[in-house]
Amino acid sequence: MKKAVVVPVLLLLGGLYTQTLSSARSDEPKVLEFDTMFGVTGPFLGAANAIQGVPGAGAPWTNPTVEGELGSDGKLEIEIRGLVLVSTGANPAATFRGIVSCRSIDASTTPPTATTVVVVTGAFLATTTGNAKIEDTVVLPSPCVVPIVFVGPGTGAVRWFSATGIATN
């Protein structure tokens, strides 16, 4: 009889322990969690109105469907769907990369000054329908103030196709 009670109790405790570990992992500090991005368009095209040091692409892109987060440890995860050129409805880039831009402090100057720091992930395969999954870790400056996450081409010059921070009616 004791064995019949002990085994289920141990299984229950083991399950609770595993659930606690899973919860602890999901509670890692997040700098930013997002489910919207803004496709580059209008005055943000090109370098004239770069956002925090990151110029826009040369042609308009759609507002994609996204789920993403940036952890305090620099882990960046973005699942993106439907990021395509407005003109063709297709994505011509074979790869995408994540880009993070933060304002930080340059302590090497006297007095310390504000500076913009841009870091990028590696390249991740993208489909012609604009779908990709980016999972990488970037080295964030300390502090990383007002971070903006962008998605851009996986190769070549750093520029953005879509960016966090959209609020529309």
Per-residue pLDDT at 75: 97
Q: For residue 165, what pLDDT is reported?
A: 85
Residue 102's Cβ-count burial label (10 Å; 0-12, 13-18, 19+) is buried
CA distance 103 to 112: 13
> pLDDT tens across 6-49, in order?
444 444 444 433 343 333 345 668 999 999 999 999 999 999 99
> Could you read off the pLDDT of 119-162 as tens digits, one per residue?
999 999 999 999 999 999 999 999 999 999 999 999 999 999 99
